[in-house]
């Protein structure tokens, strides 16, 4: 038997209903916030991610699916979404269009990780990017948007963990302070952090292997912000206050990727326990210039759909049932095949899944198949019905039957749907 590749999954009914519902709900809110969908390719050049995500990150060093194509080009299966959106922004000269460019995307991403850590090698993300504005109101907008999305999806007790990691004018001094503080604790650090301490000491702050008390004692980036970064951060926090978005300043929040500047944030739901962020994001004001485009500030976030969907399924088990549409099954004689197909055409848009029997054997066998498929109603078209332009509608649970004019079957199904709700 040929099996799916390790770390990948088939998404089957009925779970796929949750995927459709989540993607549709999030996309609808994104559009209502003025964002447009962007679909970028699944394969990109390796250079895009070594340049953006950064050499020396776990993603680039260990986790990328990298392969040569037949001409020897170095390609990758995209490991994240932001770099590709920025590449597209540059490639299509969107800086010449009215600012900001606001995108949302949903799709598959790939990282070669150990599946036992609960992560898939092919995983799915929904993300947004707002490119072109440095205003803290833009940061507030992307945060406000995801709070609206998660609220629409029925999640509660949401709050934002937030930090500012500064920019090129203030981060060097912070890094130096952090490095010298870490030097006095070098024996306590894990082997990775001994290396990170030199290359990128911020990374030590989100290392899960370090003593939290040690990490809490280290210098805070917000104590080193330059006046511009300070203004930006406080203005963002003030806006979150006025919008009633709960937040907690978390000076250990740095996010794993090289390209963040100033704002970094995660959204957590207290219902899920303290360690469990639903999504993360931040500002990346240098990324587009770094990729060869014009200097362009930007902010965004990305959310793992696997996790969000498993949270929703666990919290609201009745959700799948409410997303399932009822089924009707057309039982018919071979003389009524055309009428059966035509009847189904007229039922499009009524909110029912309609099967037309394709074996055309006895009505008893067709009705049995209707029941096995979970149909609630059988729409029966035999000789008598054909001659009178009617349909016999049988409720497969109660056994009750009614004769309905063919032209009225749609209205009958609409009414039946309303009565169920
Ligand atoms: Zn460490
Ligand atoms: Zn600064």
The pLDDT score that the predictor gives to residue 200 is 84
Q: Are residues 307 and 332 in the same domain?
A: no
Residues pairing with 266 in the sheet: 161, 280
Q: Are residues 234 and 356 in the same domain?
A: no
Separation of 86 CA from ligand 1 center, angstroms?
31
The pLDDT score that the predictor gives to residue 198 is 86
Separation between Cα atoms, residue 28 and residue 149, nearest integer Å: 9
Which CATH number belongs to the domain containing residue 395 in this structure?
A: 3.40.50.800
Q: How many CA atoms lie within 13 A of 258 on its CB side?
A: 21
Separation of 203 CA from ligand 1 center, angstroms?
8
Instruction: Record the tokens describing residue 1, joined without a space.
Output: 């038997």
DSSP per-residue letters across 271-334: GG-TT-EEEEEEE-TTHHHHTTS----EEEEEEEHHHHHHHHHHH-TTHHHHHPPPEEEEEE-G
The answer to whether residues 367 and 378 touch, using CB atoms and an 8 Å cutoff, is yes
User: What is the helix (H) or strand (E) element at residue 262, kind and residue range?
Assistant: strand 261-269
Q: Are residues 268 and 339 in the same domain?
A: no
Residue-range definition of the domain harbouring residue 127: 15-170+225-315
Q: How many domains does the chain have?
A: 2
Separation of 164 CA from ligand 2 center, angstroms?
9
Separation of 198 CA from ligand 1 center, angstroms?
13
Separation of 256 CA from ligand 1 center, angstroms?
13
Separation of 254 CA from ligand 1 center, angstroms?
14
Structural domain includes residue 352: yes
Q: What is the pTM of this model?
A: 0.93
The pLDDT score that the predictor gives to residue 336 is 97
Looking at all shown ligands, the one closest to residue 203's CA atom is: 1
Helices (H) and strands (E) in the chain, counts: 17, 16
Separation of 208 CA from ligand 1 center, angstroms?
7
Looking at all shown ligands, the one closest to residue 229's CA atom is: 2
Structural domain includes residue 379: yes
Structural domain includes residue 6: no
Structural domain includes residue 206: no
Instruction: Record the tokens describing residue 5, joined without a space.
Output: 């590749």
Which of 294, 315, 336 lies at the terminal end of a domain, its last residue? Answer: 315
Q: Are residues 36 and 128 in the same domain?
A: yes
Separation between Cα atoms, residue 355 and residue 336, nearest integer Å: 14
Collapsed DSSP state (helix, strand, coil) of residue 266: strand
Instruction: Record the tokens describing residue 226, joined without a space.
Output: 């330059």
Note every long-range contact of 222-225, with CB atoms under 8 Å and residues 24 or more positions apart, other chains counting: 222/163, 222/164, 222/249, 222/251, 224/166, 224/170, 224/171, 224/173, 224/174, 224/177, 225/164, 225/166, 225/170
The pLDDT score that the predictor gives to residue 241 is 98
Instruction: Record the tokens describing residue 20, joined without a space.
Output: 């459709």
- In 3D space, the residue among 24, 117, 120, 118 whose CA is nearest the CA of residue 77 turns out to be 120
Q: Are residues 36 and 104 in the same domain?
A: yes
Separation of 40 CA from ligand 1 center, angstroms?
35
The pLDDT score that the predictor gives to residue 421 is 63
The dihedral sign for the CA sequence 198, 202, 203, 208: positive
Structural domain includes residue 204: no
Separation of 253 CA from ligand 1 center, angstroms?
14
Looking at all shown ligands, the one closest to residue 189's CA atom is: 1
Looking at all shown ligands, the one closest to residue 221's CA atom is: 2
The answer to whether residues 139 and 133 touch, using CB atoms and an 8 Å cutoff, is no
The answer to whether residues 163 and 253 touch, using CB atoms and an 8 Å cutoff, is yes
Looking at all shown ligands, the one closest to residue 171's CA atom is: 2
Separation of 181 CA from ligand 1 center, angstroms?
15
The pLDDT score that the predictor gives to residue 274 is 52
> Residue 27: exposed, middle, or buried by beta-carbon count in 10 A (0-12, 13-18, 19+)?
middle
Mean pLDDT by 10 residues, the chain (421 residues): 95 96 98 98 95 79 91 96 97 97 97 80 97 98 98 92 95 94 92 87 89 93 98 98 97 82 92 75 95 97 94 90 95 97 96 96 97 97 97 97 97 90 63
User: What is the helix (H) or strand (E) element at residue 189, kind and residue range?
Assistant: none
Separation of 58 CA from ligand 1 center, angstroms?
13
Separation between Cα atoms, residue 12 and residue 16, nearest integer Å: 5
Which of 261, 280, 315 lies at the terminal end of a domain, its last residue? Answer: 315
Looking at all shown ligands, the one closest to residue 186's CA atom is: 1
Separation of 48 CA from ligand 1 center, angstroms?
28
Q: Are residues 144 and 282 in the same domain?
A: yes
């Amino acid at each position: 038997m040929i099996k799916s590749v390790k770390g990948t999954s088939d998404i089957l009914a009925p779970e796929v209903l949750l995927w459709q519902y989540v993607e549709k709900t999030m996309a609808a809110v994104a559009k209502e916030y003025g964002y447009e969908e962007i679909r970028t390719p699944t394969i990109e050049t390796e250079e895009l991610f070594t340049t953006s995500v950064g050499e020396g990150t776990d993603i680039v060093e260990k986790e990328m699916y990298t392969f040569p194509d037949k001409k020897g080009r170095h390609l990758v299966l995209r490991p994240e979404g932001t770099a590709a959106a920025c590449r597209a922004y540059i490639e299509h000269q969107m800086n010449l269009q009215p600012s900001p460019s606001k995108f949302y995307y949903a799709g598959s991403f790939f990282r070669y990780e150990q599946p036992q850590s609960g992560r898939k090698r092919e995983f799915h993300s929904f993300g947004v990017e707002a490119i072109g504005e440095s205003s803290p109101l833009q940061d507030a907008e992307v945060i406000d948007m995801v709070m609206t999305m998660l609220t629409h999806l029925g999640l509660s007790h949401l709050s934002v963990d937030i930090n500012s990691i500064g920019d090129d004018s203030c981060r060097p001094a912070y890094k130096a302070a952090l490095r010298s503080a870490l030097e006095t604790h070098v024996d306590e650090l894990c082997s990775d952090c001994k290396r990170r301490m030199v290359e990128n000491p911020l990374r030590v702050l989100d290392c899960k292997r370090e003593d939290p008390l040690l990490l809490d004692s280290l210098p805070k980036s917000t104590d080193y912000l330059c006046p511009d970064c300070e203004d930006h951060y406080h203005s963002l926090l003030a806006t979150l206050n006025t919008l009633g978005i709960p937040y907690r300043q978390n000076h250990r929040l740095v996010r794993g990727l090289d390209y963040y500047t100033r704002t970094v944030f995660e959204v957590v739901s207290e219902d899920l326990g303290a360690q469990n962020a639903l999504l993360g994001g931040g500002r990346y004001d240098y990324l587009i210039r770094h990729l060869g485009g014009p200097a362009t500030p930007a902010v965004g976030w990305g959310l793992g759909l696997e996790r969000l969907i498993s949270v929703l399924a666990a919290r609201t088990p009745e959700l799948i049932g409410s997303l399932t549409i009822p089924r009707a099954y057309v039982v018919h004689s071979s003389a009524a095949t055309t009428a059966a197909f035509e009847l189904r055409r007229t039922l499009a848009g009524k909110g029912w899944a309609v099967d037309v029997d394709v074996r055309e054997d006895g009505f008893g066998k067709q009705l049995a198949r209707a029941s096995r498929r979970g149909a609630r109603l059988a729409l029966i078209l035999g000789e008598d019905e054909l001659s009178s332009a009617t349909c016999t509608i049988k409720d497969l649970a109660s056994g009750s039957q009614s004769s309905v004019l063919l032209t009225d079957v749609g209205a009958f199904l609409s009414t039946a749907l309303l009565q169920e709700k």
